[in-house]
Amino acid sequence: MFKKSPATLEVRTAVPDDVPGILTLIGQAYPGFGNYSAGQVSGQINNFPEGQFVAVLAGEIVGYCASSRIDEAIALSSHDWATITGNGFGSRHDATGDWLYGIEMAVDQRQRGMRIGKRLYEARRVLAERLELRGIVFGGRMPGYAKVKAKVDGPDDYLARVAAGEFRDQVISFQLGNGFKPIGVLPRYLPSDKASEGFAAHMVWRNPYVDPNEPVAFRVPRDVESVRLATVQLQARAVKDFAEFVQNVEYFVDVAADYRSDFVVFPELFTMSLLSFEKEDLSPMEAIDRMTEHREPIVQELSRMALRYNINIIGGSHPTRTEDGSIQNVAYVCLRDGSVHAQEKIHPTPNEAYWWKIKGGSSVDVIQTDIGPIGVLICYDSEFPELARRLVDEGARIIFVPFCTDNRQGYMRVRYCAQARAIENQCFVVLSGNVGNLPGVDNMDIQYAQSCILTPCDFPFARDGIAAEASENIETLTIADVNLADLTWARAEGTVRNLADRRFDLYRIDWNRSAPRDLGPPEEKPRGSKAPGGG
Question: Where in the sequence numbering do the catalytic residues fall?
Answer: 268, 345, 379
CA distance to 202, 222, 367, 500, per residue, from 216 (Å): 23, 19, 36, 19
Distance, in Å, from the CA atom of 422 to the CA atom of 454, rounded to the nearest integer, reads 7
With a CB cutoff of 8 Å and minimum separation 6, the contacts of 191 are: 80, 198, 523
Beta bridge partners of 99: 70, 135
| Cα of 389 vs its chain's centroid, Å | 9
Distance, in Å, from the CA atom of 407 to the CA atom of 272, rounded to the nearest integer, reads 18
Buried residues in 428-444 as b, exposed as e (16+ CB within 10 A): bbbbbbbbbbbeebebb
Cβ 420 vs Cβ 397: under 8 Å:
no
- Cα angle 272, 276, 277; round to 5: 130
Distance, in Å, from the CA atom of 322 to the CA atom of 357, rounded to the nearest integer, reads 13
Give the β-pairing of 452-454 and 428-436: antiparallel
Q: Identify each DSSP E strand in 166-285 by its residue range.
A: 181-186, 200-206, 226-236, 263-265
Beta bridge partners of 135: 99, 206
Distance, in Å, from the CA atom of 338 to the CA atom of 331, rounded to the nearest integer, reads 16
Distance, in Å, from the CA atom of 233 to the CA atom of 475, rounded to the nearest integer, reads 5
| Cα of 210 vs its chain's centroid, Å | 33
Distance, in Å, from the CA atom of 356 to the CA atom of 437, rounded to the nearest integer, reads 19
Residue type, 141: R
Distance, in Å, from the CA atom of 54 to the CA atom of 52, rounded to the nearest integer, reads 7
Candidates 511, 533, 530, 508; CA nearest to 520 is 511
With a CB cutoff of 8 Å and minimum separation 6, the contacts of 157 are: none
**Of all helices (H) and strands (E), which one includes residue 467?**
strand 466-469
Candidates 354, 342, 351, 329; CA nearest to 299 is 342
Across the beta sheet with 181-186, the strand order is: 9-13, 53-57, 60-70, 99-107, 135-141, 200-206, 181-186
Residue type, 243: A
Give the β-pairing of 135-141 and 99-107: parallel
Cβ 502 vs Cβ 496: under 8 Å:
no
| Cα of 527 vs its chain's centroid, Å | 22
